[in-house]
């Protein structure tokens, strides 16, 4: 194995040992993991540090994660979230775990339009997590559900990962767009079904009850008290409507493609939420500099782990790329000569490990073509091989420690990201290794 592959193994090991075994903070673990990665460059250590930090500094997701941490405090302080949740409970509070089911189905619906895992976690989580917390879900499980659901967009076509894979020289001669399109819709159905089963398990395991009848207002009463809180949905919808579908097409015609492409929903959703919270909850906001200072002091501790982890997760991914991870993993995969089940499991593990520091699209671009060739050579049908690769890469939102969706969801839930790592691996990473393998082997039926 090449240097970059060993660096990836060392990176993951250091983070796990420092955080899970030694019980140190995840922020410290990510910083130490980054230093270890750069050390693999020996004399290029300073250069790799610069490359990594420059890449992290250019990521809008870092801003989004920190912004959502602060905006969550504002929405709570102003009472906007409480009034909104009263309305949602009036509608679905009598269903056990209703908020979790809505979060999962809503994530799939959003993923069919916007395929970014980070955007999915930000958009769905900003509404679902406060609602789940108020309806008896543990905050770290609520964050786990939202981050685990973030991969919906990667498997529902036509995602960027879909086009990167189908457009690669290794895949295009064997699989048509039409074949993969139909197959991936069925594959997405299997993935969403598993996520719904997870919600049912959480409801049973944690004995999540219906919201007590005494806490459920009549729909008319809750709407009269909190109708202004529904502008939160407007704040979320505006950037989406302006960038996707008919709204995006209309704005592109009016202003040009460059103008529309400059609208980043990860930046504008928290900004719009802040504006809405400030307007409709202004009576509950601090009126003095001292009051604002106290609010900032209350929010500050939550920035430490979220900020450090996000910065050094992206920095680590950049260093791995600089060390040549793509080419070296390709060499490892090409060296496999295994039966279908073994090939699928090994390919799945490698893709999942790569999808941790990278995202789904970058992962498919890095190892997708080689992984496809390995699976087909092992006897897997080409369409099923492509489907399984996209399933493996869809763990991007749930793969600790580098998945951006984890830090967005935990910042919204105001919990330490490390508390979600084990449940994410158990419910949203390992199962998708087996789902992808089952699809590759034809155990789970997918048209091909």
Token pair 């680590």 is at which residue? 316
Rounded CA separation 151/393 (Å): 8
User: Cα 36 vs. chain centroid, distance in angstroms?
Assistant: 25
Q: What is the pLDDT of residue 75?
A: 72
Angle between helices 3-16 and 325-334 (to 10 degrees): 100
Domain ranges of the chain: 60-158+184-303
Question: Is the pTM value of this prediction over 0.75?
Answer: no
Q: How many separate helices (H) and strands (E) can be counted in the chain?
A: 25, 0
- Cα dihedral angle (434, 439, 441, 442), rounded to 10 degrees? 140
Hey, what are 389's tokens? 């690769």
Q: How many CA atoms lie within 13 A of 16 on its CB side?
A: 10
Is residue 437 within 8 Å of residue 388, measured between CB atoms? yes
Q: What is the pLDDT of residue 298?
A: 72
pLDDT of the chain, 448 residues: tens digit per residue: 678 888 888 887 887 788 667 777 767 888 898 899 999 988 889 999 999 899 888 877 677 767 766 776 777 677 776 677 677 777 766 778 888 888 888 788 777 656 667 777 887 888 788 888 877 899 999 999 999 998 887 888 767 677 778 777 778 888 887 788 889 889 999 999 999 999 999 999 988 887 777 767 787 887 888 788 778 778 877 887 887 777 888 888 888 888 877 877 767 877 888 888 888 877 778 888 888 887 777 766 666 666 776 788 778 878 887 888 767 766 766 666 678 888 899 889 988 887 776 667 667 766 777 788 888 888 889 999 999 999 998 887 788 876 778 888 888 888 888 888 889 999 999 999 999 999 999 999 998 8
Q: What is the pLDDT of residue 320?
A: 80
Give how far Cα 382 sits from Cα of 289, 340, 442, Å: 63, 12, 12
Q: What is the pLDDT of residue 306?
A: 65
Token pair 């430490």 is at which residue? 304
Rounded CA separation 375/444 (Å): 17
Tally of residues, the chain: 448
Hey, what are 138's tokens? 């543990």
Largest CA distance in the chain: 69
Rounded CA separation 281/63 (Å): 23
């Amino acid at each position: 194995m090449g240097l970059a592959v060993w660096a990836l193994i060392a990176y993951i090991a250091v983070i796990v040992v420092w955080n899970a075994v030694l019980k140190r903070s995840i922020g410290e673990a990510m910083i130490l993991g980054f230093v270890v990665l750069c050390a693999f460059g020996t004399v290029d250590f300073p250069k790799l540090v610069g490359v990594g930090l420059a890449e992290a500094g250019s990521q809008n997701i870092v801003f989004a994660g920190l912004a959502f941490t602060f905006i969550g405090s504002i929405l709570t302080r102003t009472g906007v979230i409480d009034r909104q949740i009263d309305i949602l409970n009036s509608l679905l509070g009598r269903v056990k775990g209703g908020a979790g089911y809505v979060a999962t189905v809503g994530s799939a619906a959003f993923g069919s339009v916007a395929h970014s895992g980070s955007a999915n976690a930000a958009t769905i989580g900003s509404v679902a997590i406060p609602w789940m917390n108020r309806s008896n879900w543990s905050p770290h499980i609520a964050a786990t559900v939202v981050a685990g659901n973030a991969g919906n967009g990667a498997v529902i076509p036509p995602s960027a990962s879909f086009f990167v894979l189908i457009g690669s020289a290794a895949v295009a001669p064997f699989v048509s767009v039409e074949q993969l399109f139909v197959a991936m819709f069925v594959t997405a159905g299997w993935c969403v079904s598993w996520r719904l089963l997870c919600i049912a398990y959480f409801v049973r395991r944690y004995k999540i009850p219906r919201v007590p009848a005494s806490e459920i207002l009549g729909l008319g009463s809750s709407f009269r008290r909190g109708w202004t809180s529904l502008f939160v949905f407007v704040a979320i919808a505006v950037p989406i409507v302006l960038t996707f579908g008919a709204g995006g097409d209309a704005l592109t015609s009016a202003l040009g493609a460059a103008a529309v492409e400059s609208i980043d929903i990860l930046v504008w959703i928290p900004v719009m939420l802040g504006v809405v919270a400030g307007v409709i909850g202004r009576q509950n906001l601090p009126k003095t500099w001292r009051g604002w200072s106290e609010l900032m002091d209350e929010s500050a501790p939550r920035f430490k782990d979220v900020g450090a982890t996000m910065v050094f997760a992206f920095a680590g991914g950049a260093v791995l790329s600089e060390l040549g991870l793509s080419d070296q993993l390709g060499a490892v995969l090409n060296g496999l000569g295994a039966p279908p089940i073994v090939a699928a499991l090994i390919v799945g593990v490698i893709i999942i490990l790569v999808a941790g520091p990278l995202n789904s699209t970058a992962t498919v671009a890095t190892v997708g073509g080689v992984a496809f060739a390995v699976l087909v050579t092992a006897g897997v049908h080409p369409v099923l091989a492509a489907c399984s690769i996209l399933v493996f890469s869809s763990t991007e939102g749930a793969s600790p420690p580098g998945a951006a969706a984890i830090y967005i969801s935990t910042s919204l839930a105001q919990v330490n990201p490390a508390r979600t790592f084990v449940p994410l691996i158990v419910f949203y990473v390992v199962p998708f290794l087996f789902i992808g393998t089952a699809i590759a082997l034809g155990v789970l039926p997918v048209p091909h």
